[in-house]
Amino acid sequence: MALFAVFQTTFLLALLPLRTYKSEVLSEPLPLTPESLKVSVNSTRQRLHLQWTVHSLAYHQELKMVFQIQISRFKTSNVIWVENYRTTVKRNRVLHWSWESKLPLECAAHFIRMRSMVDDARIPKPGFWSNWSSWEEADAQNSLGHDPLFVFPKDKLVEEGSNVTICYVSRIHQDNISCYLEGVQIYGERLDRSVSAFELKNVSFIRKKGTNVFCKVDQGGALGGIVLFVSKVLEEPKDFSCETQDLKTLTCTWDPGSDTGLSKQPSQSYTLFESFSGKKTLCKHRNWCNWQVAQDSQETYNFTLVAENYLRKRSVSILFNLTQRVHPMTPYNLFPKNVRATNATMTWKVHSIGNNSTLLCRLELLAEGKVIQQHNVSIKVNAPSEAPDVWRNMKMVSGHPTVSLFWKPLSKVHANGKILFYNVIVENLDKPSRLEVLSIPAPARSTELTLDQCSYQIHVTAHNNVGPSPASVIVISGDPGNEEVESGRVNGTEDGFSVSWKPQSGDATGYVVEWCDGPQDLPCVLQWKNLGPNTTSTVISSGAFRPGVRYNFRIYEISAKRMAHLLEKKAGYLEELAPSDNPQVVMSNLTSHSFTLSWKDYSTESQPGFIQGYHVYLKPKAGEQCPPAFEKTVLPEDSVCCKHTIDNPEQKTFVVENLQPESIYEFFVTPYTSVGEGPLDAFTKITTPDEYSHILIRIILPMIFCVLIVMIICYLKRQWLKEKCYPDIPDPYKSSVLSLIKSKENPHLTIMNVNDCVPDAIEVINKPEGSKIQFLGTRKSLTETEFTKPACIYLLPTEKNYSGPGPCICFENFTYNQAASDFASCGHFPVTPQAPPHQLGPLTSPENLLKALEQNYMNSLGEIPAGEANLNYVSQLASPTSGDKDSLPTNPPEPALCSEYKMQMAIPLGLASAPPSENSSLSSATLLGQGEHYR
Amino acid sequence: MLPAAGEPAAGDSWGMLACLCAVLWHLPAVPALNRTGDPGPGPSIQKTYDLTRYLEHQLRSLAGTYLNYLGPPFNEPDFNPPRLGAETLPRATVNLEVWRSLNDRLRLTQNYEAYSHLLCYLRGLNRQAATAELRRSLAHFCTSLQGLLGSIAGVMAALGYPLPQPLPGTEPTWTPGPAHSDFLQKMDDFWLLKELQTWLWRSAKDFNRLKKKMQPPAAAVTLHLEAHGF
């Protein structure tokens, strides 16, 4: 009994955990009913979405369950779909399920309910269904308007070959509604009082704008329709392959098949995906795509081409080795060269395919259309094999360190084809910054970089069409460093300059010797020579080296950090020459015993040899000894002179002492090198001054001063001096006597003007009578006859250039007719001998005047006794009177100023005193001719 | 042209001469005879009329192509759907009495406004067209329609009528809302072409009527002369 009791207790204890478990999971009554069931409609996709939860589960408990879902259409009793949905349920987790309806959801109301059952293996006892949830209605019809007829689904996108169910909802009687597919009537199934459905099987693509389905009420005019977009089925890309021509770009091509584009759906897109690199690219074209080959030498590629549209995704993959997909480009520039009778050389060019690739070229020889020979030629195409030899020159340009980079072109052996460009990459070592990359097209051999005070690492690579060369690296320190280094000389030989140096630090990775090929030319053509770390000497040779040119060599040590430090400077001549020119010597401080010579502008650097010193030549006065510092020497021209040698090239002044005063010296300075001295130029003369000349100056200066004082005094007292030395001459016009006379006697009293005194001439003419008769009888013009005496005595100017009206004195004979005498008084025209005759001819009215004169003259002839000698008096004093100025309108010359003497004396004038005959208005040419006689 | 004055009296000969002078003086003022002055809106109305007829012809070909592009039933000759949607399109159909009672200004204004809207819709149609050929045809037609619009504006200006100013923000657009299905869109396209055709037909009538109205009868010139001469 006790045993039984123990067994029972044990059994009960064993059952207890199970009971406990059962009570946890399936406590009675079972509460695992779906709750919070919600149904939503996606009309476009024609799907019903369900979501619910199971609240009754214990916390953290997971259980496999099965949910049975029922869907009814139109009414709950019309179940059209039952499905068991199995899933793992967790407390409070929202569960989802969706269902696609063939019938557009707008055409019918749908009702959904579900129940659940535990379907977990941990529960041995078969489960049982929970109670059904309540029906949930999904009705898309509520959103419809009030139109009489609706057709669904709207704007559906399907693939070709699909089955599509179309329905309409009418709010009117259905019997007279007919539906059409592309104008062809279709017949369907009536689902409800107001709903009919049409199943279109295996729909086909008609047009991009879609397939039209419409229904209309036969008499009512109501119309509804849809556009069904039938897309062609997206095909898998065919013939997908990739190849490259240059190992840089892969070109993948494929056959895309039919275009699935519609006005509702764009054409399918293509994406290229590479699985090893994980990169992808969206292709811009329908049937090909480019893929940039990475530089990281990826060899194997696994490409997947994905074609995609709204409805479908298709993909195709290929795996290949890049080198197996190379399709070389066609060789070009194929030319025969050196064609001979039996052989010819063929040349051609190939497009390179990456680095270190070998191309096999097949050459075929054709004759009469048939290949008669074939040759296979292997061509290796590489990137440049060696880094360019790079050197730099640093200078400061407006406060910024500027680096000129130079590089030498690669040899043909190393270039492996034409160098296209050089890449210069500048990397700042002091602070992180973006790399600056410069691409300099060949054949440039230098470039200039403006940097700041930081340190920079510069990589230079040469590129041919295959790729870049190894990089040449130099480091430039922002700090120019101590440039003061030991300077030395180097001797030039026929082979060049033998330069040697002392290594400074042990970690030098190399040395660079730099120089300029033409140091006198600007800019300097920088040359350099790279040398290994164990080298301490080298011979620098260049075809550009010339004798007599100073070459400066700078030796740099390249540190392990690729930085260059100046080690030594050397200067040398391939061959030293004598100086080509002499310094410009300036003489100063000349005294009677010494003078100073200086030639400070003379540059010893730019001479054709190392200047060792200077020779000062001095030619003293004949017979004089050389000054103490000089020694006697014989010049090449055999003249003897004194010579002093300065053996310091930097001493550029010299004082010549111990000279004689008042002596002529000649000097000349010339530099000398190890080869010789400069050209023998002309000596410069100099005279030493007198020893006492300074005393003379002390006397002369005061004398000059005294003279100046006297001159100033004279100037100040000039009035007094004038009165004393040259007083003014009294002027008769201003005389007080004049006023006294005027007031008492003749008011017309004039004073003879001294200035009018013209030296007169007096001429006594013995005129024969016969000539007068002849004159009268023949009446020839005065020019043709002998000169007849004028009635007036002319006061003729003695000066030839006298141009003004000549004064005259008329001795009037009162036996003359007054009228005629008026004419005669000033009828003549005193003219200068030079005056042209025609100027006077037309000035008077010759006819009238002639007649009057002739008449008077004839009268006078009868009265005056003939045969008397005539005297013409030419007065020395002719006073200017204005009385006759207007007697004749002669202009020019103006009427002569005349003095009339009336009744001075009774002089029997006869012919001589007659007025100037009938030709008183004769041309002045006549008078001029006569005038010459007067003189 | 001059009215018969019967047998003139002797004293009337001066009066007749004066009349003749007066007639000659006023002759340049007769619009119908004034060949050197402004020709008036007559020629531009004629040109606009001609343009509408040309566009009618052009649209027949374009509509055929476009409706084929839409597919059946839109390209069926007897397809006459109710005017679903397309409410914003200007209606060309009008009651005959109303049409007759329209004055010139209103007639021209309605034409101008209708074509402004139709042109805008047509350009929207062009943007949506899928084929290049169709786009080219539509663009060509749009250019012609723009010309018609300019021509109508010219007639209105010649007659001294101001152009209707579009209200700001009421620029018609051809962007269907999301609820606008593709079928309704096709219906709109159909109605656009149909209304355009009707409008061109109506415009031809409008301008024909206007043209006749603007031609003054010859009798009016006679009356005019009488009034001035005597």
Over the stretch A558-591, which tens digit does the pLDDT of each residue have? Answer: 888 888 888 888 888 888 888 888 888 888 888 8
Instruction: Please check whether residue B73 touches A, CB under 8 A.
Output: yes
Largest Cα span, chain B: 92
- Contacting residues for A392 by C-beta, under 8 A, at least 6 apart: A403, A404, A405, A406, A458, A474, A476, A564
Nearest Cα of chain B lies from the Cα of A432 at a distance, in angstroms, of 52
Alpha helices for A633-757 (secondary structure H): 693-716, 718-725, 736-744
CA nearest A447: which of A426, A463, A424, A469?
A: A424
Parallel, antiparallel or unpaired: strands A357-367 and A195-200: unpaired
| Dihedral, A90, A91, A94, A98 alpha carbons, nearest 10 | 50
The whole-number average pLDDT for the span A334-350 is 88
CA-CA distances (angstroms) from residue B70 to A166, A258, B67, B85? 20, 22, 5, 17
Residue A316 has pLDDT above 90, yes or no: yes
Beta bridge partners of A927: none
Q: Which helix (DSSP H) or strand (DSSP E) does residue A425 occupy? A: strand A421-428
Q: What is the pLDDT of residue A469?
A: 87
Burial class from Cβ neighbours inside 10 Å (0-12, 13-18, 19+) for residue A750 reads exposed
Nearest Cα of chain A lies from the Cα of B93 at a distance, in angstroms, of 19
Test A212 with B71 for CB contact under 8 angstroms.
yes
Test B182 with A264 for CB contact under 8 angstroms.
yes
Test B74 with A227 for CB contact under 8 angstroms.
no
Q: Is the dihedral of CA A620, A625, A627, A632 positive or negative?
A: positive
Q: What is the pLDDT of residue B39?
A: 59
Q: CA A927 to CA A787: how far, in whole Å?
A: 9
Test A212 with B81 for CB contact under 8 angstroms.
no
Burial class from Cβ neighbours inside 10 Å (0-12, 13-18, 19+) for residue A339 reads exposed
| Dihedral, A26, A30, A36, A41 alpha carbons, nearest 10 | 90
Using a CB-CB cut-off of 8 Å, the residues of chain B touching A207 are: 69, 71
Residue A28 has pLDDT above 70, yes or no: no
φ, ψ dihedrals at B109, nearest 5°? -65, -45
The whole-number average pLDDT for the span A80-91 is 88
The whole-number average pLDDT for the span A381-394 is 85
The nearest alpha carbon in chain A to B84 belongs to: A223
Is the Cβ–Cβ distance between A36 and A134 less than 8 Å? no
Q: DSSP string covering A580-612, please?
A: SS----EEE---SS-EEEE-TT--STTSSS---
Q: What is the pLDDT of residue A97?
A: 92
- The C-alpha angle A302, A307, A312, rounded to 5 degrees, equals 130
**Taking the CB of residue B26, how many other CB atoms lie within 10 A of it?**
14
Lowest mean pLDDT among A188-192, A219-223, A700-704, B164-168: B164-168
The whole-number average pLDDT for the span A777-805 is 44
Q: What is the pLDDT of residue B2?
A: 37
Q: Which two tokens stand for residue A819?
A: 């009228």
Residue A809 has pLDDT above 50, yes or no: no
Q: CA A510 to CA A389: how far, in whole Å?
A: 13
Structure confidence by residue, pLDDT tens digits, B100-123: 888 888 888 989 988 988 888 888
Q: What is the pLDDT of residue A272?
A: 93
Q: CA A176 to CA A191: how far, in whole Å?
A: 16
Instruction: Please check whether residue A593 touches B, CB under 8 A.
Output: no
Nearest Cα of chain B lies from the Cα of A174 at a distance, in angstroms, of 19
Lowest mean pLDDT among A443-452, A725-734, A878-887, B60-69: A878-887
Nearest Cα of chain A lies from the Cα of B163 at a distance, in angstroms, of 39
Among A332-341, A812-821, A838-847, the range with the most confident prediction by mean pLDDT is A332-341
Is the Cβ–Cβ distance between A135 and A113 less than 8 Å? yes
Test B73 with A212 for CB contact under 8 angstroms.
yes
**Taking the CB of residue A154, how many other CB atoms lie within 10 A of it?**
20
Is the Cβ–Cβ distance between A388 and A422 less than 8 Å? yes
Residue B225 has pLDDT above 70, yes or no: no
Q: CA B207 to CA B216: how far, in whole Å?
A: 16
Test B183 with A225 for CB contact under 8 angstroms.
yes
Q: What is the pLDDT of residue A754?
A: 59
Q: Which helix (DSSP H) or strand (DSSP E) does residue A555 occupy? A: strand A550-558
Q: CA A833 to CA A796: how far, in whole Å?
A: 10
Test A212 with B128 for CB contact under 8 angstroms.
no
pLDDT tier, A861 (very low <50, low <70, confident <90, very high otherwise)? very low
Q: CA B149 to CA B152: how far, in whole Å?
A: 5
pLDDT tier, A703 (very low <50, low <70, confident <90, very high otherwise)? very high
Nearest to B181 among A183, A226, A263 (CB): A226
Test B73 with A210 for CB contact under 8 angstroms.
no
Test B182 with A180 for CB contact under 8 angstroms.
no
Test B72 with A182 for CB contact under 8 angstroms.
yes
Q: What is the pLDDT of residue B171?
A: 56
CA nearest B152: which of B115, B191, B112, B182?
A: B112
Residue A828 has pLDDT above 90, yes or no: no
Q: Which residues in chain B (101-130) have CB-CB distances under 8 A to chain A?
A: 128, 130
Q: What is the pLDDT of residue A59?
A: 64
The nearest alpha carbon in chain A to B69 belongs to: A209
Beta bridge partners of A557: A511, A565
Test B71 with A155 for CB contact under 8 angstroms.
no
Lowest mean pLDDT among A253-267, A364-378, A667-681, A838-852: A838-852
| Dihedral, A428, A431, A434, A436 alpha carbons, nearest 10 | -20
CA nearest A775: which of A785, A763, A783, A767?
A: A785
Test B73 with A183 for CB contact under 8 angstroms.
yes
Q: CA A407 to CA A388: how far, in whole Å?
A: 6
Lowest mean pLDDT among A246-255, A309-318, B160-169: B160-169
Residue with tokens 């007083």: A727
> If phi over 0 gives left and psi between -120 and 50 gives alpha, with beta otherwise, what is residue B71?
left
- The C-alpha angle B20, B21, B23, rounded to 5 degrees, equals 65
Nearest to B72 among A212, A216, A264 (CB): A212
Q: Which helix (DSSP H) or strand (DSSP E) does residue B224 occupy? A: helix B218-229
Q: CA A261 to CA A234: how far, in whole Å?
A: 10
Residue A869 has pLDDT above 70, yes or no: no
- Contacting residues for A480 by C-beta, under 8 A, at least 6 apart: A394, A396, A401
Instruction: Please check whether residue B83 touches A, CB under 8 A.
Output: no
Beta bridge partners of A488: A570
Is the Cβ–Cβ distance between A400 and A451 less than 8 Å? yes
Q: What is the pLDDT of residue B213?
A: 81
Is the Cβ–Cβ distance between A349 and A333 less than 8 Å? yes
Q: What is the pLDDT of residue B216?
A: 61
Beta bridge partners of A38: A51
Structure confidence by residue, pLDDT tens digits, A424-434: 998 888 888 87
Test A206 with B74 for CB contact under 8 angstroms.
no
Q: Which residues in chain A (668-697) have CB-CB distances under 8 A to chain B?
A: none
CA-CA distances (angstroms) from residue A578 to A597, A618, A672? 22, 21, 7
Q: How many residues does chain A have?
A: 935
Lowest mean pLDDT among A537-541, A611-615, A689-693, A807-811: A807-811
Lowest mean pLDDT among A50-54, A931-935, B113-117: A931-935
Using a CB-CB cut-off of 8 Å, the residues of chain A touching B181 are: 154-155, 226-227
The whole-number average pLDDT for the span A299-311 is 91
Burial class from Cβ neighbours inside 10 Å (0-12, 13-18, 19+) for residue A666 reads middle
The nearest alpha carbon in chain B to A185 belongs to: B73
Q: Which two tokens stand for residue B66?
A: 């476009």
- Contacting residues for A707 by C-beta, under 8 A, at least 6 apart: none
CA nearest A214: which of A174, A172, A184?
A: A184
Q: Which two tokens stand for residue B210?
A: 């206007």
Amino acid A13 reads L
CA atoms in the 13 A half-sphere facing the CB of A661: 8
Nearest Cα of chain B lies from the Cα of A207 at a distance, in angstroms, of 8
pLDDT tier, A931 (very low <50, low <70, confident <90, very high otherwise)? very low
Residue B168 has pLDDT above 80, yes or no: no
Helical packing angle, B12-26 and B218-229, nearest 10°: 130
Residue with tokens 């292997």: A378
The whole-number average pLDDT for the span A788-802 is 45
Using a CB-CB cut-off of 8 Å, the residues of chain B touching A224 are: 183
Nearest Cα of chain B lies from the Cα of A107 at a distance, in angstroms, of 16
Lowest mean pLDDT among A416-430, A590-604, A835-849: A835-849
Using a CB-CB cut-off of 8 Å, the residues of chain A touching B130 are: 208-209, 263
pLDDT tier, A32 (very low <50, low <70, confident <90, very high otherwise)? confident
Buried b / exposed e across B44-70, counting CB within 10 Å, b at 16+?
bbbebbebbbebbebbeebbeebbebb
Structure confidence by residue, pLDDT tens digits, B14-29: 666 665 555 555 544 4
- The C-alpha angle A455, A461, A466, rounded to 5 degrees, equals 155
Nearest Cα of chain B lies from the Cα of A183 at a distance, in angstroms, of 5
Structure confidence by residue, pLDDT tens digits, A287-297: 999 998 877 66
The whole-number average pLDDT for the span A660-681 is 84
The nearest alpha carbon in chain A to B80 belongs to: A221
Q: Which residues in chain B (168-227) have CB-CB distances under 8 A to chain A?
A: 181-183, 186-187
Beta strands of A765-913 (E only): which ranges? Answer: 792-794, 808-811, 898-901
Question: Which residue did the predictor score with more confidence, B156 or A746?
Answer: B156
Q: What is the pLDDT of residue A35?
A: 81
Buried b / exposed e across A60-96, counting CB within 10 Å, b at 16+?
eeebebbbbbbbbbbebeeeeeeeebebebeeeeebe
Nearest Cα of chain B lies from the Cα of A97 at a distance, in angstroms, of 28
CA nearest A922: which of A818, A816, A850?
A: A850
Using a CB-CB cut-off of 8 Å, the residues of chain A touching B84 are: 147, 223
Parallel, antiparallel or unpaired: strands A238-244 and A177-181: unpaired
Nearest to A207 among B71, B73, B187 (CB): B71
Using a CB-CB cut-off of 8 Å, the residues of chain B touching A182 are: 71-72
Structure confidence by residue, pLDDT tens digits, A129-177: 888 888 888 887 776 777 788 888 888 899 999 999 999 888 776 678 8
CA-CA distances (angstroms) from residue A555 to A342, A483, A488? 58, 12, 11
Nearest Cα of chain A lies from the Cα of B197 at a distance, in angstroms, of 22
Q: ipTM surpassing 0.95, yes or no?
A: no
Q: CA A225 to CA A319: how far, in whole Å?
A: 50
Test B183 with A221 for CB contact under 8 angstroms.
no
